Structure 1
Amino acid sequence: MAEVRRAVRGALASLPAGSTVVIALSGGADSLALTAAVGFEGRKLGLRVASVTVDHGLQPESAEVAENAGRQAASLGVDPLIVRVEVGTDGGPEAAARAARYGVLADAALDVGAVAVLVGHTLDDQAETVLLGLSRGSGARSLQGMAAQSELAPGVALLRPLLEVRRATTFAACAAEGLAPWSDPHNDEPRFSRVRVRNRVLPVLEAELGPGIAEALARTAAQLREDSEAFDEMIDETIEDIVEHAEAGISVSAPALAANPAALRHRIIRHVVAAEFGQSLSRAQTLEVARLVTDWSGQTAIDLPGCRARRVGARVEFTAQP
């Protein structure tokens, strides 16, 4: 419990006294240990602490699980709120439930004027996220895992204070506090890719390569996030000088792009398309656009998600698809 409290203390230290924080409480060991620690540390820091339990109604006993989570939150001095919400189908059941859950958390935080929402993702969750990102092959950004702090809604931070805490520690913390965590049967359902990574892939890696794989994956995520933040700063500085608005789109100086290293050039291309058209480019699409800069031989326009790229003189123009 001391390890969990220490992690929470660091996350809460910068919040102003008297402010409100919300905990995402599922009733599982991770979120229950988090609730106990935030309740304890929050009182010492003069914070008002509330929990939100989202009942998706996806399992027969979900209402009972939510009520039990709320009771345990109240016993820890935390104001419990239970929200029942239907889950859509977009992107599959996992993605739909996650989208609904974060929507409820954002609404609840804004309703009570909370400055932060805390979720109980652990080091093990981070390692699983990195492996899933690796399987998608979508570059360093997908291998960064989850950020310790991001924005959930305007003025509301999303905090993950347990990203350096192992899942086994949260179970031990619950036992030490006399709390009864719920075991989600979906965590053993092999049709979910994350469950297969958790129950099959990581144990094999540990057995074949030795212990410490989860920690190594989490360290890799942290290092890649640092690299990405540095790249983002370089991109922001570079874009100011090489990007101009064009009719129905935006244009980038080809010589300036060519003068940059490939890694930065490709990131600028992806950033421009994402910022201007809200679309993500695959690596193959990014390389095809880069050829308009480094291997220009009169190619025709390239159709991309939401836009079209073409070489016009010394610039690469990106315009909306007609």
Structure 2
Amino acid sequence: MARQELGPHSLRVAQRVAEMLDGVEAAVVGCSGGPDSLALALGAEWAGRRPGTRITAVIVDHRLQSGSDRVAAETAELLAWRGIDAVIRRVDVRDTGEGPESAARSARRAALLEVAQDRPVLLGHTLDDQAETVLLGLARGSGVTSLAGIRPRAGSFWHPLLEIRRTTTVAACREWGVRPWHDPQNADPVFRRSLVRRSTLPVLEQDLGPGVAEALARTAVLMQGEDAVMAGLADAWLARHAVLPQDLAGDQSLPALPLPTLPLPDLVSEPRGLARRVVKAWLQRAGVESSFVHVEAVLDLQHARGGAGVDLPGARVTRRGRRLELNPGDESLS
């Protein structure tokens, strides 16, 4: 299909993918068969044709709905008809407490990475998905990192369509002459994102006027810049101040732990926002997930006596004199 044969919507999708794939020899596209990912796959095939970029579509069958195997097979056939190599990966979704949406996402991403190896994985998240992500983060009372939403490039996962509305991908599929699959779960209000998509955002658009989704997506872009600045400041602070206990000459009160300790007076003398980011980064480096409540409790150890501590998932932070130490729990940090 020549460039001039594309309609305005499909051309816009294809051009955005082409910009992100510039210089890439091979890429994987996650494709559910829905309008966003189907338009992405067709756009990637178009974008990769001239430079010779090899495109492989991966269809992940979560096996959570009746007939999911049929949907996966039909999507693979459609992609093959359009000249796109496609593979199907069936996964077992195990909810270990993070919720069904997160469990399915984790299983899906693991399957995509397994196929991709070192190649980038393109995902079809749109401006609407970005707006929903920011709104959900606001509802949870999240900080800058969460409000920064979906990054254009997050490790192996790339998102070329974050500036494109969902209506554009639907129209692009129509121009390409393909019929996408519409996931019934996207209309199920039991899922928070579906509720935001079908109810909350339309009500906001109705009450506040058009442009709410674009404004929320713009907030994500702004927060991504702020988050990068704060992450850099936290990393620099840790590089200056965090030390291993064995490097503290003359301080025999601290055991020889493999994890860095933090000087509490220096930490709490910083603005609270930076101190929070330092503690969060310190814990993340050790593989410890922490909430706002956890971080606040760690900082509040400035008011506690020596030996006082805060229990975290799989770890404990303890005040030892003028320093904070992080001790692995029974389920081990390594």
TM-score w.r.t. length of structure 2: 0.87
- What secondary structure does 1:59 align onto? coil
Relative to structure 1, is the Cα distance of residues 84 and 287 closer, same or farther in structure 2, using a 3 angstrom cutoff?
A: closer
| Deviation (angstroms), 1:118 | 0.5
* 2:28 alignment partner, SS class: strand
Instruction: Evaluate the alpha carbon distance shift between residue 297 and residue 178 of structure 1 in structure 2; reply closer, same or farther with a 3 A threshold.
Output: closer
1:56 aligns with 2:62: yes
Equivalent AA in structure 1 for residue 326 of structure 2: F
2:112 to 105, 111, 126: 105
State the partner residue of 1:312. 320
Q: Which ranges in structure 2 are unaligned for 5 or more consecutive residues? A: 1-9, 246-255
Correspondent of 1:133 among 118, 137, 141: 137
Matched to 1:3, the amino acid is R
Which residue identity does 1:86 align to in structure 2?
D
Q: What's the counterpart of residue 78 of structure 1?
A: 84
Matched letter for residue 208 of structure 2: L
Name the structure 2 match of 1:261.
271
Name the SS for the 1:101 alignment partner: helix
Give the Å deviation of 1:299: 6.3
Over residues 217-272 of structure 1, what are the superposed CA-to-partner deviations in whole Å (9 max), with x where a residue is unaligned?
11111111111111111122221110011333431122322342211111101111
CA contact (8 A) 2:124 2:159 kept: yes
Give 2:17's aligned residue. 8
- 2-side partners of 1:57 and 1:255: how far apart? 53
2:291 maps to 1:282: yes
Q: Does 1:172 align with 2:176?
A: no
**When the two structures are aligned, how many residues end up with a matched partner?**
308
Gaps of 5+ in 1: 152-156
Cα separation, partners in 2 of 1:109 and 1:297, compared to 1, 3 Å: closer
Contact 2:59 2:88 in 1 (8 A): yes
Equivalent in the alignment of 2:158 = 159
CA distance in 2, matches of 1:32, 1:290: 47
- Given candidates 135, 150, 158, the residue that maps to 2:154 is 150
Q: What is the identity, as a one-letter code, of the residue corresponding to 1:119? A: L
Inter-CA distance 63–261: structure 2 relative to 1 (3 Å threshold): same
CA RMSD in angstroms, aligned pairs only: 1.7
Residues 298 and 123 (structure 1 numbering): CA distance in 2 closer, same or farther, change over 3 Å?
same
Matched residue type, 1:7: R
Which residue number corresponds to residue 252 of structure 1? 262
**How far apart, CA to CA, are the structure 2 residues paired with 1:57 and 1:259?**
52
The one-character-per-residue Cα deviations of 1:163-212 (angstroms, maximum 9, x if unpaired) are 11000000000001101101111111111111111111101111111111
Query: C-alpha separation between the residues in 2 aligned to 1:13 and 1:72?
Result: 26
Q: Give the deviation of 1:297 after TM superposition.
A: 5.7
Counterpart residue identity of residue 237, structure 2: T
Which segment is superposed worse, 116-125 or 257-266? Answer: 257-266
Quote the residue 1:271 is aligned against: 281
Q: Deviation string for 1:77-103 (max 9, x for gaps)?
A: 211112222322333332222121111
Give the stretch that moved more between structures: 57-66 or 231-240.
57-66
SS in 1 for 2:42: helix
Task: Name the SS for the 2:244 alignment partner.
Answer: strand
Supply the distance in 1 between the matched residues of 2:189 and 2:301 (Cα, whole angstroms): 44
Q: Distance in 2 between matches of 1:6 and 1:288?
A: 48
Amino acid at match of 2:80: A
Distance 1:251 1:4, change over 3 A: same
Find the aligned partners of 1:297 and 1:86 in 2 and give their Cα distance: 46
Instruction: Say which structure is richer in strand.
Output: 1
Match for residue 123 of structure 2?
A: 119
Letter in 2 for 1:250: P
Q: Does 1:94 align with 2:98?
A: no
Could you tell me which residue of structure 1 aligns to residue 253 of structure 2?
A: none
Please state whether the residue corresponding to 2:178 is helix, strand or coil: coil
Which letter maps to 1:266?
R
Q: Which moved more, 1:237-246 or 1:302-311?
A: 302-311
Aligned residue for 2:119, secondary structure, equals strand
